[in-house]
Structure 1
Amino acid sequence: MPNPIPHQKKELNQSQQLMIFVLSMSLFGIANIITEIVPEFSFGPVEFSVSYFAFIPLAMVFLFSPLPAALGAPLGEIIFADLLMGDFGGIGELEGFIEFALALYVAGLLVKNPNSRKQIAIASLVGVGIDQMLSTVVDIGKVWVGIEELEAVPGVPESILVLEGISFVNEMVISGVLFGLIPAMWLVPRLHGKIEPLMGFAPREDVSFRSAKEIVGARFLVFSVFFIFVGMISEFMAEMDVNFAVWQPEFIEQFGQQFLWVGVSAAIIVLILAVMGISYLKKSSSSGNPSRKAQ
C-alpha cells in the first residue's frame, strides 16, 4: 500500500501577496481616518477613545497570509491617516509600525482554523495585547530615562505605572474587545470560505500556511527583539528632537474635518485598484489553468 502524500503548504505567489498587502493597507487606512471623527472622552489623566478598529487587520491576518496583511495595515495608517492628513511624525512613526506589524503577524500565526471562535478570540487578545504592551513599555521607558515628564501624582514617579496600567486596560477593553475580538469573532467565520474564491485564493485551512510552532523560534525571537529595539530608539530620538522626515502641515486644522475626505478618497481609489488587480489575477489564473481544480 503506497504511503499517503503529505499535505503541502499552499504558498501564495508574489502577485497574490501584493494584493493582500494593498487590500490591508487601504482598508485599515480608511478605518483609521474614520477614528479621527469618533469622539474622545477623558476622566482626569485617563483618555477613553478608539485608537483603531482592530477587527479589520485582525480579520485580514486570520483569513489570508499573515505577513503581507500584517505589513500592509500599519503602512496604510502612515500613508492615509498620517502623511495625507499632514500629521507624519518622522522617524518616530517607526515604533508604531514595528509594534503593530509584529503584533498582527503573531496573531495571524495563532489561528489555524478561521472557523474556530476560540482561536480567533485568543489571537485577537494576544495581538492587541502585544501592541499595547510594547507601547506601554516604551512610554514608561521614556519617563524613567527622563526624556518625557508624565506623573499622575506630582512627586511620585511610580505613579506612571498606575497611569499606564489604566491606559493599557482601557485600550484592551475598547480596541481589543469591543472593536477587536467581538467583531472579528462574528465576521471571520462568516467570510471564511466565501471571500477567498472571489479573490482567486484557496480558503485558509490547517495546512494552508506555516503555523506559529513552525515559525516562532530562536531566529524569530532575535529578529523581533532587534526590531523592537530599533523602534524604541527611533521613538526616543523623536522625543529628544533628533528627528527627520517630519511632515506636519496639519491640513485638518487648516481646512477642517472635510479634509478627511481626501484621505478617504485616496484609500478608496487604492482599494478599487486592488480589487481590479485581484479580478485580473483571478481571470489570468483561470484562463491559464482551465483544467486545474482548486486545491
Structure 2
Amino acid sequence: MKVLQFTIPVPHDKTIIVQKNVLPHFYQHLHRHQEIQMTWIQKGEGTLVAENNMHAFRDNEIFWLGANQPHVFKSDPSYFTPKSKKKIVALDIFFNPNGQLASFFSLPELKLLKNFITQAQSGFRVPQTYVSEISSKMIRIQQHAGADQLIHFIDLLKFLSSLKELKALSSASQTPVYSEHEGIRIGNIYNFIMHNYDKPITLEDAAKQAHMTPQAFCRYFKKHTLHTFVSFLNEVRINEACKKLTDGGYDNIATVAYTCGFNSITNFNRVFKSITDQSPSDYVNSYFQNVEH
C-alpha cells in the first residue's frame, strides 16, 4: 500500500486502538494518519524516519508519533533477505485527540494533558530510564477494556506529561508538506537510499528512481525533505554506522566506515563528527557509559 495517508481501522465502540504486531518486517512505506501513535518495539532493529529526521531503533524502545506526522519504521536490510527468519514484534497504541476524544480532552481537569499532547506533536523517543515503567502501563491498556482501559490510558498520559526534556523527533517549524503523490515518490527514494546506503550511490542513481533529471531532482528533494541528496545519504550512513558501532559486532571503526559506504576513514570521521558532534570513538565510549548507568 504505497499511499501517504493511512487509515487506522477504528472499531465503532473504541476510541483507543491497541495492536500487537508480529511480522517479518515493519510496514515499509512513508505514511501518516490522524491518530497519535505510540509504539513499543519489543523486537526489531532499523531506522525511524520522522518527517525530515532519522533515528536508529533497537529492541525495547518506545516512540511517540504526532497526529499526521509522516513516518516510517524502516527495518534493517537483513530483514528483507530471501532466507531471513527475522521477525519484528511491536505493541502500538493509537488515539485521535481531535475525534471522539476531543470533548473529553476539553474538560478543564485534563488541560495539562491536552497541553502535553499539543506540545508533543513532533514526537519523541521515551528515555530508556522510563521504558520499563511505560511499557508496563501500555500492557495494562492492552489487557483491559471499557472504563478500566480508559483509566489506564489517562494514567499513561499523566506519567508521560511529567517527563522533562523530551527531545523532539523532528523540527515542527520545518515540517515538510506532502501530497499523496509526493509522499509516494519521496517514500520510494527513501527506500532506495536506505536499501543501498552501503554501495556507491550517485545523484544520477537517485534521480532515476524519481524519473527526474539530476538538476530537477536536487531542487525537488531539497524542497520536500529539507536535505540535499548528499546530506540525507550521509545521515543514513552515519545512522547505520552508529548502530554497528554499538551492537558489539564490528572489528574496528575502519571496518564500520567501509561497510557503511564510505571510501575513506578520514571522510568517515569528518562526516561522523559533523552529524553527531562526536568522533566515532567518543560516541562509542559515551554510549556504553550511558548503558552501564
TM-score normalised by the chain length of structure 1: 0.25
Q: Which has the larger radius of gyration?
A: 1
TM-score normalised by the chain length of structure 2: 0.25
Higher helix proportion (structure 1 or 2): 1
Higher strand proportion (structure 1 or 2): 2
